[in-house]
Structures are given as C-alpha cells and as structure tokens.
Structure 1
Amino acid sequence: MQTKQIADGIHMLSMNVEDILFEGIWSIANGVTLNSYIIKGEKTALVDGVIGWDGAIDTLYNSLKEIDVDPAKIDYIIVNHMEPDHSGWIDNFKKINDKFQIICSPKAAGLLDAFFEIKDNVTAVKDGETLDLGNGKVLSFHLVPNVHWPDTMMTLDEETKTLLSCDMYGAFGKIEGHFFDDEMTDQEKKKFEEEGIRYFSNVMGTFSPQVKKAVEKTEKLDVKVIAPGHGPIYRKNPQDIINDYKRYCGYRMGKGKKEISILWGSMYGMTERVVNIIKELIEKEGIAVNSLQMPYVNTSDMVSAIFRSAGVIIAAPTYEYKLFPPVAVALDEIGRKKISQKAAFCFGSYGWSGGAQKEIVELIDKYKLGWDFVEPVEFNGRASDEEMEVVKNGVIELIEKVKKVSEHQESCG
C-alpha cells in the first residue's frame, strides 16, 4: 500500500489488487487499486477502506501509522458505499476502536446492520449535510443513489474542493507509476482511458441514467480534485474525467467509438470463414474491429468492447435450433447490462435447420435494447459467392450507420 498527500490535510492510501475476479465476475488482467482517504482536522476521518481479506487490513493499519494516524484514535469512518471492497474491514476495526462514529447515507445504514450488525454510532446524513472536523476541515455529503448501489454518496472537502467519489470516476488498473493525472505519461493515460471504459461498462454501465445525474451534480460543486475509490487522482483538470463519464453514459445508449465489434462463434469454420472476410472489409474502410470469439474472450473484455463500439455484428451458427450457446450467453449479458440502440447486423450458418437469427431477435426484444439492425443473413452450410455478396452488402450498410453515429459522438464529445 502506498500513501500520497493529495491536498492540504488529505492523504490517499492505495493498495494494488491482482489475480482476482472483481465482484467475482470480471477478469482484471491489469489489476485494480483500492483507495482509502484520511482527512485531518482537529478530528480525523477515514473515508472508505479496504476489503476484509487476510493481510489487507493489517496493511491499511500499517499505512495509517506511516502518516502518523493511530487507527485506535480515528474519530469518523465515512462510508460512501457499503460494497465489501470498501467496507469489509469495518468488522475488524471495531476490535481496536469502539469509539468511532460512522457517517453514511440512510440506505447504507440499513446495509451496515445487515452486513456487520452495526446499529450504534451510525449517523445517516441527508443530501448536502456537513461535518465539521475542525481546523477548517468541513465535509459535505452528496447522495448519488444507484450509480452502483442505492446507498452511494460522495464526500467533498469544502476547503480544498477535493471530491472523494468512491466508485464514481473510477477505473480498473493497478498503479505502479504515477498516481496523478498531470504526472502520467501518454502511455499511462491511454491505459487508464481503456481501463476506465472497461470499469464503467462492467460495473456502472447498467446505471448510466443515474450516473448522468451524478455527473450533473458534480458539475455544480466547483470541484478542484477528484479522488475515486479505484484508479488515479484527477487534479490538473478534473473536468476531463467528468467529460469521459458523460461520454460513457452515451455509449450505453447507442453512441460509440468508430469501431465495430464482431461477437462470433463457429463450430466447424463455416461462420468463421465469413468473419475473416468481413473483418478485412471493415478495416479497409478505416474502422477498428474488435474480434470477440466466444467462448474464448472473457466476459469483461467482451462487454467493454460491445459497450464502446458504435456498431456490432453478431455472427454465429444455429446449434440445436437455437443460437450457438456461447454467443447466446454473451448476448444475454449484454442485455442485462442494457447496452441499447446499437447499429447492428447478424449472420450465420446452419445445417439441417435454422433458428439462431430468431433467438437473436428474441434476446434483443426481451431486454428491450432497441438495436437498429441491418437485414440479417442466414446461409445453409458454406456461404455461396452470392450469399457472401449479400453479407458484404449488409456490412457496408452497417459501416455507413457506424460512420454517422461515431461522427455524431465526436461532435458531441
């Protein structure tokens, strides 16, 4: 765990976590940080914390001592969000400090009882309420329900205008070099943009309408520094990450980068042959292609690619009268994430009976995604030259849709 002073009277304590599935689902090849914050006035507050794993809690306590904070003398724990990657340590903390006060949202108060049987010394704050730590340190609390869970809030240090935003404005990716946006190399910035989109699509994407409201609330706070629970600190121009989050909200509703994601699977190469041909066609048009062969691509990368792309192609054979199962599972996850209004095209092969294209439509309708489909193509066995031309024409039509959508996104963003 590393410690950094991020503003007057505010320190970050950041731990890199690797080799886990985030939330038990998401593969994070590049890890993730767990960021906690200490705010010192006459009294001391710790904002968020760490997961309750063996070793993680002791690491937090040792890092507190490095910045001359005795865990037993912490006055307040600010719980921005009750998810255990931030709150799992609290049960242990009660063993060394029985005098601290918890500040949280009303929804979080109920979860504290459910998770840790904590009912005493809990203050549930309303939106805009403040806490005076003394020596000029006044914290205000800003409820942003359902940006992830219903309990979420953000904490603002009124003196330095530092926003401790928890899951809002977060990103995957461990930090081995620079913690601050103004210190990062171009390579580090590119990495965290990619990891930010992946984090948003995996964790926050479903709640994009609520995230949009939280962004609007942030812009009214005159924020100078944004310090999230995961990822780097934004102090040079926090508006950059705010604008990024605005853009990500648009990705869930049909906007996207000038990319086409091909979500595909193939049993014996009939569909794969066509995928390889159209991939080349798309790239010749200057559009990036994300080839997502299921089940070989992990769910995290698949969701991220579909989420950020202006166009999607679903290419899969029929399997036992239905859509090829690995692609069906992926499409179901896209539906659960409510990735809507994408420009799309689908095709695939069949043997004795079709059915894949029918199930694609059923899944899109089930989740009310409202995708804008080019006419689908289904071919028996190996695609003939004539059928291949029909597929190419469908792809060209999709490319034109993607160019319009991505150009609109660039002009708006």
Structure 2
Amino acid sequence: MPLSTMQRFIRTCKQANAATCFNAYPPKGRFNMKAVQISDGIYCLPVNLESYQLFEGMWPMPNGISINSYVVQGEKTALIDLIEDINDKPAEFQSELQSIDLTPKSFDYLIINHMEPDHTSWIPTLIKENPAIEIYLTKKAAAVLNSFFSITEHTHIIKDGDTLDLGGGKVLQFFETPNIHWPETMMTFEQSSGTLFSCDAFGAYGTVNDIYFDDQLSKEQHDFFHQEALRYYANIVASFSTFVNKGIARLDDLDIKVIAPSHGIIWRENPKAIIDDYHRFASYMNGPAEKEITLIWASMYGNTAKLVDSIIKGVESEDVPLHVHRVPDEHVGIILASAWKSSGLILGMPTYEYEMFPPMSWVLDMFRRKKLWNKKVLRFGSAGWSGGAQRELDRITEKNKWEFMEPIEWFGAAGQEQHDLAVQRAAELARTIKEG
C-alpha cells in the first residue's frame, strides 16, 4: 500500500541522521541550556517537550515541540510568556535565565499573550519568587488568570494598540488577536527591532536545539518545519481560520522583521514565509485547497480493503497527488494535515452495527470540529449485513459543506462491478480536482 506524504516523511526522518530533519531534544537532566540572542537585549528561552508526550493530551508529536519564552531588556526587563511546569522544564528554563545573568526576581513585567497552561502553568512559582512583578494581559486573559491561579493583583488590562515603554529604546505594543486560538489571546510587537512575539500563531511542531532560526536551516529542515507548521495548524488552529485571516490583516501595517512564536523556529530571514503559510492554510477552509486527494480507509475483515488498490489506480490515472492513510493505524492528528490541504477526500469504511466503523467515525467527527469544509468526497465500503455507515456519515458531515459523489457500497464481497466503479469514480473525482 502506498505511503502517505507524512508517513514517508516520518520514516525518512527516523532513518536519517536526526540533524537532517529536525533537532534532537536535550537529554533528560541536562541543565546547561543557554538563552538565544535574537537582537540587542532580546532573547529566546526555549525548552523542548519530548516526542513521547501527546500535545494538548491528544496530538502526536513524533519530533517533539518547543515552548519558547522571551526576554526583552531595556532600562526595565519584560518576560513574554512562560513555560509549562512539567518534569524538569522549569530547571531548564532557569538555567537559560542564568546564562544571561537573570533570575525570576529580575523581571519588572510579565507579558501574557495567551493563558493556555503550556505557557502559564509556572506562573505561581514566578509570582512566589517575584510578587511585585507587573502583569500585562487582555481583559479576558485576566479573568482566566484569576480562575486558574486566583491572581488579581498587579494586573494591567491592555487595550488594542497600547504600548509599554521599557526605556533604552525598547517599546512593546500590544495587539488583541482573539481566537488564535483562545478568545483572550494577543500578540506583542517590539517596535525598535521589529520583533513580533506571536505566541501560538505562526508556530510549528518540532524541537529546537543548536539551530533556532530559519536562516540556519538546510533545505530539508526548511521543508520539515513548513510541514510541521501545517500539521500544527491543522491540529491546533484550523477551527479558527477566519480569525487567523483577521489577525494577519490586523498586522499589515507593522514592519515585521522577526516572528518569534511560542512553538518552533524563529523566523528572521524571511518572516513573510510563515505568514504566507498561515494565510494559505487559513484559505483552505473556504477553498480552493490544493489539487490533491487524501484517501482515508479502514477495514474490519478485508472486504473494504480489497477496493483500495482500485481506488488508488483511478486517482493515479489522472496524475493527481494522493495521500493514503489507514485508521486506526494512523492517528487523526497526522491525517488532518493532508486532509486539510486537499481539495478531495476519499473515505473507505464498512458498516459496523448499523453505523460507521468507529475509528473512522472519530476521524470524521474531528473533521467536523476542525471545520474541514468545502471538499469533494467519494465514499466506498462494505455494507455488512445491514448498511448504515452512509447515514451516519451524512449526519456527522451535514455542516461541512461537502460535495458528495454517489457512494460505492455492497453487501458481502466486492465483485468486478465494484472494482470497475472504484477506478471510474476515483478517476472522475481526480479529474474534477485537477480541473479546479
């Protein structure tokens, strides 16, 4: 069975030298991490979450992910976002602080762009060590801060466009960018350096270690981070694509020289590249997406599986790129990336107890949640003894704005008629996708 783009990519990364595709995370217990200088007085303090963890308790990250905190030093010093209070990550973070002669007590300000716990769960420790620190955040973030940690003192509610002068030429400006991807989010722009601290926007999976900037990447590493940005987007941000476009438009007048996200690589050579990526990813929701097809299939006893080769033959006859995923072998977090960017979907699943095969039902429910809209879709599968998969498919996807072809469904074993239909209809879908 042909491998999907992501399957081939991950297999290549696992077989190749790690440096070819991604940066290996630091060994457990290593606390000699150093802060990374972006420009005069501006530093990144990244820590890496290892690949065995599930991001947000749900999404696989075969190559881990970084959580980036930032320091801006003028006459006063600001800390922008934090790290997750998990395992040995606070110790790594404090080691990085020490590398630039700082401690938690050194900060005058804490800037909270986003209240999700991977950026804020260490706040109680920071406040305990530095109770006088002044906190800048949105009104909605202040409510979340109180509900999570019962913190209300020394908080300052920003309004869109407000500034905070740190002295020494460093001025922070705040922009509310709600629903990228929580309703309280904002971004922070340092005016003198043109650095945008974008928190979860413009992020990507993948750890950072020794290589931190886009201008340090090989072509293979560039491809890796762009692919991991797509997968991160599809997993974390996709539902909020309308707000992504609004947020990007909100930043149009800024002279952005560096994009410093809270996950993944820092973009200083070509920050427009990741902005363009996100703009393109957001556009896939309303279409058109790429002229590609994603085939997702599942089979209980092999009867649905027997039609897969005929489906593939039909698509390949029209030279349309095809991504193939089998569930439950592959996690929906991997499948989402290729499905999000594909204009066409082919779904293969049998009926199971009058409804859809349950692993496929979970995938399609996630497609509903992530607003995987405006796709052209073909479905095939064994009807079992009763049929019913199609009814559940119609119900789950009724708001997805999908354009369905007539499905291919049969009782018992598929015959030559079904194989011929699979080739014919898969080729027809591919032609429709190719012709736009």
TM-score w.r.t. length of structure 1: 0.95
1:14 aligns with 2:43: no
**Given that residues 30 and 173 in structure 1 are in contact (C-alpha distance below 8 angstroms), is that contact kept between their aligned partners in structure 2?**
yes
The aligned counterpart of 2:426 is 395
Inter-partner Cα distance in structure 2 for 1:359 and 1:381: 20
**Given that residues 347 and 357 in structure 1 are in contact (C-alpha distance below 8 angstroms), is that contact kept between their aligned partners in structure 2?**
no
The letter for the 2-side match of 1:6 is I
* Secondary structure in 2 matching 1:353: coil
Displacement of 1:266 in angstroms is 0.6
Displacement of 1:284 in angstroms is 4.2
For residues 112-170 of structure 1, the C-alpha deviation after alignment (integer angstroms, 9 at most, x for no partner) is 10011100000010000000000011100000001110110000001111000000100
The aligned counterpart of 1:141 is 174
The aligned counterpart of 1:56 is 89
CA RMSD across the alignment: 1.3
Output aligned runs, 1:354-365, within 5 Å: 354-365=387-398
For residues 321-373 of structure 1, the C-alpha deviation after alignment (integer angstroms, 9 at most, x for no partner) is 111111111111111111100111111112321111222111111xx101111
Displacement of 1:34 in angstroms is 0.5
Inter-partner Cα distance in structure 2 for 1:230 and 1:358: 40
Match of 1:41 among 74, 88, 110: 74
Displacement of 1:8 in angstroms is 2.1
Output aligned runs, 1:11-410, within 5 Å: 11-18=43-50, 19-365=52-398, 368-405=399-436
Inter-partner Cα distance in structure 1 for 2:105 and 2:161: 29
**Given that residues 261 and 306 in structure 1 are in contact (C-alpha distance below 8 angstroms), is that contact kept between their aligned partners in structure 2?**
yes
For residues 227-254 of structure 1, the C-alpha deviation after alignment (integer angstroms, 9 at most, x for no partner) is 1000111111211111111100012223
For residues 76-125 of structure 1, the C-alpha deviation after alignment (integer angstroms, 9 at most, x for no partner) is 00000000101111111122111100011111101110011100000010
The letter for the 2-side match of 1:396 is A
Inter-partner Cα distance in structure 2 for 1:42 and 1:10: 13
* Secondary structure in 2 matching 1:95: helix
Displacement of 1:294 in angstroms is 1.2
* Secondary structure in 2 matching 1:107: helix
* Secondary structure in 1 matching 2:385: coil
Inter-partner Cα distance in structure 2 for 1:9 and 1:377: 62
Displacement of 1:215 in angstroms is 1.0
The aligned counterpart of 1:3 is 35
Displacement of 1:29 in angstroms is 0.7
Deviates more, 1:101-110 or 1:299-308: 299-308
Inter-partner Cα distance in structure 2 for 1:177 and 1:256: 35
Displacement of 1:400 in angstroms is 1.6
Inter-partner Cα distance in structure 2 for 1:176 and 1:255: 37
Q: CA 1:272–1:317 in structure 2 vs 1: closer, same or farther (change >3 Å)? A: same
- Any unmatched runs of 5+ in structure 1? 406-413
**Given that residues 34 and 95 in structure 2 are in contact (C-alpha distance below 8 angstroms), is that contact kept between their aligned partners in structure 1?**
no
- Any unmatched runs of 5+ in structure 2? 1-32
Displacement of 1:17 in angstroms is 0.9
Inter-partner Cα distance in structure 1 for 2:98 and 2:78: 14
Displacement of 1:2 in angstroms is 4.1
**Given that residues 226 and 235 in structure 1 are in contact (C-alpha distance below 8 angstroms), is that contact kept between their aligned partners in structure 2?**
yes
The aligned counterpart of 1:408 is none
Inter-partner Cα distance in structure 1 for 2:410 and 2:59: 35
Q: How many residues align?
A: 403
Inter-partner Cα distance in structure 2 for 1:84 and 1:295: 29
Displacement of 1:182 in angstroms is 1.5
TM-score w.r.t. length of structure 2: 0.90
The letter for the 1-side match of 2:411 is N
Inter-partner Cα distance in structure 2 for 1:22 and 1:343: 30
Displacement of 1:177 in angstroms is 4.6
* Secondary structure in 2 matching 1:139: strand
**Given that residues 47 and 77 in structure 1 are in contact (C-alpha distance below 8 angstroms), is that contact kept between their aligned partners in structure 2?**
yes
Q: CA 1:54–1:320 in structure 2 vs 1: closer, same or farther (change >3 Å)? A: closer
* Secondary structure in 2 matching 1:270: coil
Inter-partner Cα distance in structure 1 for 2:48 and 2:66: 5
Inter-partner Cα distance in structure 2 for 1:286 and 1:218: 39
